[in-house]
Amino acid sequence: MSRRRKYRGNNGPRFIQLFHYVKRSEAYHSLSPDARAFLLELIDRHTGTNNGFIRFGVREAMYELGIKSMGRTSAIMREVDDAGLARPTQVGAWRGKKPTEMAADVASLSKDRRSPGAVKQMEVPEALP
């Protein structure tokens, strides 16, 4: 007897998942507000099957974030990459008019399967006397 693949279907509207351990990580807290907004836009484009192939170019990010400067938008993309929360898998090209393809490490990490030190936890400060 063959196994049938069960499709989940449309059980409701799409949502964005940001794990608590990521939100409380040092990498997330080191981001600027614009970089956090970029990360959420990137995670929003994750469909569950396209991680590593999320096409998100600089011009598209400028439009989504409401930023007028291409240099500032590129710096935001580098900031998220340097924090280790997303990485480019294929760099885009202006002449070829190909957007950058990115992998959102936040969307693919699960608390049980992540590599040690992938997302460093923030230390909770002691209560003030």
Q: Say which CATH number the domain at 48 has.
A: 1.10.10.10
**Is the residue at 1 inside a domain?**
no
**Is the residue at 93 inside a domain?**
yes
Q: Residue 71 is part of which domain span?
A: 28-106
pTM over 0.75: no
Candidates 55, 54, 94, 61; CA nearest to 76 is: 61
Judge whether residue 120 has pLDDT over 60: no
**Is the residue at 19 inside a domain?**
no
Contacts of 48 (CB under 8 A, 6+ apart): none
Q: At CA 74, angle to CA 14 and CA 28, rounded to 5?
A: 55
73 pLDDT band, cuts 50/70/90, is: very high
Total domains, the chain: 1
**Is the residue at 54 inside a domain?**
yes
**Is the residue at 75 inside a domain?**
yes
